[in-house]
Structure 1
Amino acid sequence: MKRIGYALGTLLIAIPLVSLAEPLGQGELVKLDTRPGVTQGIFITTPRQTPPKAVMVLYSGGEGRLHLEADGPSKSRDNFVIRTASYWIDHGYAVVQVDVPSDHWRDGLSAYTRRTPDILADQKVVSAEIRKRFPGVKVVLYGTSNGTATEGNILMGAPELADLYVLTSPVSIARKYIGIADLDVPQAYRDRTMLMSNENDGCPAARYSGAQRLVSKNGLTLITESSTEDGGEECGPESPHGYLGIEAKALADSDAWIASKLN
């Protein structure tokens, strides 16, 4: 297990606190035909920098329902990866926010559903669209909580869809559904996969010990965060599970690891 604690020092001073739930505004809503009778919505935002440093593909936690509109997500805007999406745009990355497929528009996606062949088929179409729009640009999958189950599905079923994988607050402890407790990262992608976990995460499915076990089993990098600010929902976005109050540090740590792999 490779545990990293980046010394950011003055770098953090230059990073403003991330504002919550601001629509990205200048993006494009795209609906892709993925399976018979099913469409997959994505929202693509491109930075001023051309070409972008990389493409960040964001998978939200919870049920994953963003209900994308012309100006971005209308739901789940307080989720960690959704509320901080503007950070990546501001730092020269393109951003793709992934909604639920149309056949799960009402019920959303559980960690179990995210591991199914249908969801993997949808993400293959998403990947093809991203590669077409950003030829030659590295693709980073960045998910949180239940969103890491979608990443796990891709990692174990079609890892070539992305170049780097970042799994934050991973659902790594099997409860009703397994999440990614069985994560088995292909050898060629172990150096390209990073887990980030808050050592005070109170969510029963995403305890720090679960992340430690996964990185030890797979020989991955672990970035450890530590905070206690809590809005009262142990598995919600306003808690250590969602890096409440330390968003800037969590993002900068993620960015530092990604940058080290892009060079």
Structure 2
Amino acid sequence: MLLTALLLQGSAKADPQPVDAATTAPGVPGERTIDLPLADGLTQRVLYAAPAHPRATVVMLPGGAGDVGLDDDGDLRHGHNFVVRTRALWVARGYAVVIPDTIDRTNLRGLRSSPQYAALVGDLARFAAVQAKAPVFLLGTSQGSIAAMNGAAHAPAGLIAGVILTESVSRMGGSHETVFSASPEAVRVPALVVANRDDRCDVARPEDAPRIAAAMTASPKVDVLYVSGGIDRSRRDCGSLTPHGYYGIEAEVIDGIGRWIDIRLK
């Protein structure tokens, strides 16, 4: 498909740009949209939000198709995903956040475990490191955990401080890839696996969390965080407004992840 080809061609060596050149976006004070130039004239649009003095930056990789619908003015057409709708909570805790959209609205299902997408995640991490002189963490949710695992597996030494995998796709479904497709054995940074005991998504089973952790054999430290609860406002068990997306327990989940990040910062 043409869009897939464009994504794969455009996933090399972004040129990080300062936030001064970005457009102010609504939602979080100081939030901005930034278009990162990629190869072949393509751009990677990201949403960047940060407190005055970030303690860390979290590159947040959405689930689903990955398309958050980020417009020029910062409006989001698909803002329900966990990592998108909670960005103000992360900023309030002292973290900067980088949330990428897809290139040309490409559906990322089936592409997140590719070497080309690993390179793009690396570009996002380098961009984050330019914006704030603070440690960079990768965080993926659901399908986005595949991207986070892939990015961590291929990141050069010193680029990222850790990886966080939330409600990870661990069983094969329509995307034909899982976190096990993304070289977990090559992850060499600390890792956190978060699993909601009440998640009913058939491809992201909470009982698989220990197996995901065990697959990261080269990581110096792998932790598993279990949470429980959530509200179901979706017809799909894998939807964002369900226990799978931590709907209704966002603050608890972010607090647990935040404590893990803070330990890494000491």
TM over 0.5: yes
Question: Hey, what's the Cα distance between the residues in 1 that align with 2:246 and 2:63?
Answer: 13
1:248-259 pair list within 5 angstroms:
248-259=251-262
Cα distance, 1:193 vs structure 2: 0.6
Pick one of 168, 185, 198 that aligns with 1:170.
Answer: 168
CA distance in 2, matches of 1:143, 1:262: 20
Secondary structure at the counterpart of residue 60 of structure 2: strand
Whichever residue aligns with residue 178 of structure 1, its letter is: E
Of 53, 63, 69, the match for 2:65: 63
Could you report, residue by residue, the CA deviation over 1:196-246 in whole angstroms, capped at 9, with x for unpaired residues?
011121111100122221113336211001115322320001111011221
Instruction: State the alpha-carbon separation in 1 of the partners of residues 209 and 66 from structure 2.
Output: 21
Distance 1:108 1:75, change over 3 A: farther
1:262 aligns with 2:265: yes
Matched residue, 1:96: 98
The match for 2:193 is 195
Cα contact 1:66–1:73 (8 A) shared by 2: no
Query: Could you say which residue in structure 2 is the equivalent of 1:239?
Result: 242
Residue number in structure 1 paired with 2:184: 184
Mapped to 2, the partners of 1:79 and 1:187 lie a distance apart of 25
Residue 180 of structure 1 aligns with an amino acid whose one-letter code is V
Question: Does the 8 Å CA contact 1:24/1:71 hold for their aligned counterparts?
Answer: no
After TM superposition, the score normalised by the length of structure 1 is 0.81
CA distance in 2, matches of 1:71, 1:53: 27
Aligned to 2:9: none
* Cα distance in 1, alignment partners of residues 156 and 185 from structure 2: 9
Q: CA deviation at 1:25?
A: 4.8
Question: How far apart are the structure 2 equivalents of 1:209 and 1:180?
Answer: 14
Does the alignment pair 1:35 with 2:48?
no
Consecutive unaligned residues of structure 1, counting only runs of 5 or more, are 1-21
Structure 1 CA distance for aligned equivalents of residues 145 and 84 of structure 2: 14
Q: Secondary structure at the match of 2:102?
A: strand
Aligned residue number for residue 88 of structure 2: 86
Q: Secondary structure at the match of 2:139?
A: strand
The TM-score with structure 2 as length reference comes to 0.81
CA displacement 1:157-204 (0-9 Å, x = unmatched): 225442111111001112341221345243632xx1101011121111
For the Cα contact (< 8 Å) 1:196–1:223, is it kept in 2? yes
Give the length in aligned residue pairs. Answer: 233
Contact 2:149–2:179 under 8 Å retained in 1? yes
Aligned amino acid, residue 44 of structure 1: Y
Q: Indicate the SS of the match to 2:194.
A: strand
Task: Please give the per-residue CA displacement for 1:2-24, whole angstroms capped at 9, x wherever unaligned.
Answer: xxxxxxxxxxxxxxxxxxxx822
Write the distance in 1 (CA, Å) between the matches of 2:64 and 2:33: 21
For the aligned residue pairs, the C-alpha RMSD in angstroms reads: 2.0
Aligned residues: percent identity? 28
Report SS of the residue matched to 1:201: coil
Checking the alignment, whether the CA contact within 8 Å between 2:196 and 2:228 is kept in structure 1 is yes
Q: What displacement does 1:62 show? A: 0.7
Does residue 144 of structure 2 align to residue 141 of structure 1?
no
